[in-house]
Chains A and B, each alone.
Chain A
Amino acid sequence: MIDKSTLWIVIICLGIGSFGLRFVFTGLVGDREMPAWLLRHLRYTAVAILPALVAPQVIAPAATGGQFDPARFAAAAVALAVGVLTKNVLLAIISGAGTLYSLLWLLG
């Protein structure tokens, strides 16, 4: 269960922070340039944080008590592979979900 005060702190701070990130340049910085080294690191934030968040869930899912689960692992692999090959986010999600349900059903 998520604590209610924590939840509202997260909602409000995340709202302010997200707006800040979106407003920082159009609103405040204007046309001044950012240092190249900073931009170079910022380019890889999403592509680093999201896999870091997912990797432990793929190898040791919380739902199976941290035990490796072939159905979940295969579903993750299929979603990623379809995404890379087709660049189609929706198709990748559907393929991953399809794999998960087929294997959960087959492996009982």
Chain B
Amino acid sequence: MAITTTKSAFRKGLADAAPFVLVIIPFSSLFGILATEAGLSVFETLAFSVVVIAGAAQFTALQLMQEHAPTAIVLASALAVNLRMAMYSASLTPYIGAAPLWQRALAAYLTVDQSYVCSMAQYEKEPDMTIPQRMSYFFGCVTPIVPLWYLFTLVGALLGTQIPDSWALDFALPITFLAMIAPMFRTPAHVVAALVASIAALATASVPYSLGLILAGMAGMIAGAQTEVWLVRRAERTAG
């Protein structure tokens, strides 16, 4: 179905993003549960989700605060996890950069993995969309996602303190992160980055102030970038 009006663009965005509801509900509930388990009040937990609106970064910050890492390290690590948002922003710019500033600001707040993935796929498929249609599509995508992100954070927070220790929820976070990492292994360079970062994290576990995490992350990024350069050169040699 081709998009002909801003209204049909909104509806298509809504329909395309609807399946992500299945991911958003358990994720946001889990954040609500773990945050209250860590001692946050229901209000603090909900504020966290509304202000930050980034699952992986919220989980990272929560984990490090529980380990009593210094605030600067908590922020640096969580923002590093969120650096991909800057890349999303960069790749959305050619498509929506001409929209009014208030719309771009609102879209920036609402840029999450799901709205980015849906929108980029749509913009590339139908390059003739107007700017208002693109914005409508984008806001359509976030409509089934963001309100549920708030709502189920609240539900999780209300349930949280009633869950007994025997449920081993300490390990919900590592399992969730591993599950999130796996689909990111798009190229050998991504795998190398993850492997080097893991090994470096184990090797630097005794470095104070959780600085090991930053060092390991940087080691992984450099390893990934270098592997990419090496793979491109090898492909060029083979082609030449």
Residue of B nearest to A49 (CB): B217
Residues 78-103 of chain B, each 1 if its beta carbon lies under 8 Å from chain A, else 0: 11111111111110111011000100
* Chain A interface residue bracket vs B: 35 or more
Chain A, 86-107, contact with B by CB distance < 8 Å: what is the 0/1 string? Answer: 0111101100110011001000
Known contacts A49-B197, A79-B175, A87-B183; A41 and B89 CB within 8 A of each other:
no
Q: Would you give the shortest CB distance from B154 to chain A, in whole angstroms?
A: 16
Chain A contacts for B176, CB-based, 8 A? 93
Structural contact, A42 and B83, CB atoms closer than 8 A: yes
> Which residues of A (33-79) have their CB < 8 Å from a CB of B?
34, 37, 39-63, 72, 75-76, 79
Known A-B contacts A72-B171, A89-B180; A14 and B51 likewise in contact (beta carbons under 8 Å): yes
Q: Is the CB of B221 within 8 A of A45?
A: yes
CA distance A55 to B197 in the complex (A): 9
**Does A48 lie within 8 Å of B221, measured CB to CB?**
yes
Determine whether B1 belongs to the interface, using a CB cutoff of 8 Å to chain A.
no
Inter-chain contacts of B182 with A (CB < 8 A)? 79-80, 82-84, 87, 89, 92
Looking at chain B, what size class is its interface with the partner chain? 35 or more
Nearest-neighbor residue (CB-CB) of B58 within chain A = A14
Q: How far is the CA of A47 from the CA of B57 in the complex (A)?
A: 13
Q: Pick the contact of A29: B80, B81, B93, B183 (CB < 8 A).
A: B93
Q: List 22 A-B contacts (CB under 8 A).
A: A2-B40, A21-B79, A21-B85, A22-B85, A24-B89, A26-B89, A26-B93, A45-B217, A45-B221, A47-B184, A47-B194, A47-B220, A48-B193, A49-B197, A49-B217, A54-B181, A55-B197, A55-B199, A72-B171, A76-B175, A92-B179, A93-B26
A residues apposed to B, CB below 8 Å: 1-2, 6-15, 17-19, 21-27, 29-31, 34, 37, 39-63, 72, 75-76, 79-80, 82-84, 87-90, 92-93, 96-97, 100-101, 104
Binding site for A on B (CB under 8 A): 22-23, 26, 38-40, 44, 47-48, 51-54, 56-58, 60-61, 63, 65-67, 71, 74-75, 77-90, 92-94, 96-97, 101, 104-105, 107-109, 111, 168, 170-185, 189-190, 193-202, 205, 212-213, 216-225, 228-229
